[in-house]
Amino acid sequence: MKKVVVVAFALALSTILAMVAPAMAAKPTVVPCAFTASATPPLLDPGKVWWTGDGTILHVRGLVVKYGLFMGANLQIGSMEMITDMDFNTETGEGNAVREWTMTFIEPLNYPAGTPANVPNPYGIGTLEGREVGKVTSVYALVRPESPQLMMPGDYTGLLVATHGTGDFEKAKLMAETVGAPFNFVSNRWTERIRVGWNGVGPLITGELTFHE
């Protein structure tokens, strides 16, 4: 009888420990995250572009553009290659886009001259890959006709989720709202700028970078 009781107690204890273990596991570290992605030349691949609906609906598949990742206006913390698939109705002024992000975070570059030296990257060093889904309200090439090949989202809002990483991001997850728009940065030189985890107006940071043990 005692043996049966001991076995039963052991089974009950193991069950309780199994239930408690997840609660006792180290909690993830959550870091508020916000940065800016700005398109940089050259265009890597214009992708496949075609029109349907008597020339009113634009379809884009496989557009590849390179971006720089920045903190504030000047300090570069990384780079990115983005692949865009998009459908846009020019009559309604609405569309949808799915974009694949491959981000590489680096030791910050002093760009331009005058930026303080030896500023650490606040998020880490490594790569992070994810997907963004967005609602498009303008197309860059239609807003800026001098850039006819850039058939990519101009004004849009989206959500980015990135879960595959290396280096400091091996067990990390980034979730952030995105806001994109054409941007005149100097002397009528335009770029496509995407705010990640920040709408560019208020101080609220909406992006979260979660590091698991």
Residue-wise pLDDT tens digits, 195-213: 999 987 888 899 999 999 8
* 11: confidence class by pLDDT, cuts 50, 70, 90: low
- The total number of structural domains that make up the chain: 1
| Domain encompassing residue 132 | 27-211
Long-range pairs, 108-111, Cβ under 8 A, ≥24: 108/71, 108/75, 108/76, 108/77, 109/75, 109/76, 110/75, 111/74, 111/75, 111/76
Per-residue pLDDT, 116 = 67
Q: 127 phi and psi, to 5 degrees?
A: -115, 155
Measured between its terminal Cα atoms, the distance across the chain in Å is 44
> What CATH number has the domain bearing residue 142?
2.40.160
Burial of 96 (0-12, 13-18, 19+ CB in 10 A): middle
**pLDDT(85) > 50:** yes
Residue 12 lies inside a defined structural domain of this protein:
no
Among 19-23, 40-44, 199-203, name the one with the lowest average pLDDT: 19-23
Residue 15 lies inside a defined structural domain of this protein:
no
Say which DSSP state 151 is in: -
Instruction: Give residue 135's Cα distance to chain centre.
Output: 15
* 6: confidence class by pLDDT, cuts 50, 70, 90: very low
Contact (Cβ atoms closer than 8 angstroms) between residue 143 and residue 124: no
